[in-house]
Amino acid sequence: MEANRSYPVLFDRYDRNPILQAKDWPYPVNTVFNPAATRLADGTTLLLCRVEDRRGISHFCVARSVNGVDNWQIDHQPTMVPDIDAHPEEIWGIEDPRITYIPEMDQYAIVYTVYSLGGPGVAIALTKDFHSFERLGLIMSPDDKDAALLPHRIGGHWALIHRPVGPQGAHMWISYSPDLRHWGSHKLILEARRGAWWDANKIGLSPPPIETDEGWLTIYHGVRPTASGSLYRLGLALFDKEVPERCLLRGDEWIFGPEERYEREGDVNNVVFPCGYTIGADGDTINLYYGGADSCICLARGSISRLLRWLKTHGSTHFRRWSDSGLYPELLADDVVIPNE
């Protein structure tokens, strides 16, 4: 069905999507999707692709391209595979990586989902070269995923955004650590909405937040259950630069969702799932790399300043009122009009 285009289009799909798929792989695989992305010092775009083998278990494989669009050089064998002996929590695979370059360590942090016997959890590994990896192990126990590290310390501590699941739903949280291994000061930062909303009940961080002068521009996904399966769509939120647990703005409408056939049909229908982006030489263009229908890798381009402008006109702060969690009491107090007694 033709989509109604009367709304602002914030991400333009590359017209030769998908850019990578199973048939491009140098060894037999089922699917390739949900890649992390970064730009290396020499300007090369590196994708750390989630590859699902024909047992159903995922590993990571690196693809490199000079222009970030085509002529991908794919590692001839898996780059990072589950290390079950040292890390039994990786027994059913490693999934959905997010890369953050950490200037203080001159290393890349890869935060990824491990599929353990107890369910999905969050693990972290460090690398300088995407050939060897230093695993720090499981940092968030199941059920938790959709995690990424901020690139520098906040008030002396590292900050991780992640998505634990509890009986009250699946919401986004932030946690802090002095050493990347021990995490605490957990805070709920963005709640899934309720009822019929596109982002009701289950949300999660998509790629790592984008640091801008106005705050951490954050693309997140919302999962809507329907009679024919879940619909994965993307929305926007902005968090305070100094206090990243404070949400400043949240868009009401989703900004990107499955429309094209490669997003509508695959191993899991109706999924767009970005885990990474690169920023163009202009400092504004965002190249968003995403999985289509859990089967292929696609590219869409947007503009950071345009996303911020959209958020200012389409974003709201009203969502805070729906919180019964006691979040932001000082803001609530300002918002709520108390009748004269």
Judged by the rule CB under 6 A, the positions of this chain that interact with ligand BMA are 34, 95-96, 232, 268, 271, 273, 291, 294
For ligand BMA, give the closer residue by CB, 8 or 225: 225
Rounded to the nearest whole angstrom, what is the least distance from the CB of residue 95 to ligand BMA in the complex? 5
Rounded to the nearest whole angstrom, what is the least distance from the CB of residue 331 to ligand BMA in the complex? 31
CA atoms of 89 and 105, how far apart (whole Å): 26
Rounded to the nearest whole angstrom, what is the least distance from the CB of residue 288 to ligand BMA in the complex? 15
For ligand BMA, give the closer residue by CB, 136 or 165: 165
For ligand BMA, give the closer residue by CB, 176 or 232: 232
Tokens of 66: 């000079």
Nearest residue to ligand BMA, scored by beta-carbon proximity: 268
For ligand BMA, give the closer residue by CB, 142 or 291: 291
For ligand BMA, give the closer residue by CB, 26 or 229: 229
Rounded to the nearest whole angstrom, what is the least distance from the CB of residue 143 to ligand BMA in the complex? 10
For ligand BMA, give the closer residue by CB, 144 or 294: 294
Rounded to the nearest whole angstrom, what is the least distance from the CB of residue 42 to ligand BMA in the complex? 30
Rounded to the nearest whole angstrom, what is the least distance from the CB of residue 115 to ligand BMA in the complex? 9
Tokens of 88: 């039994």
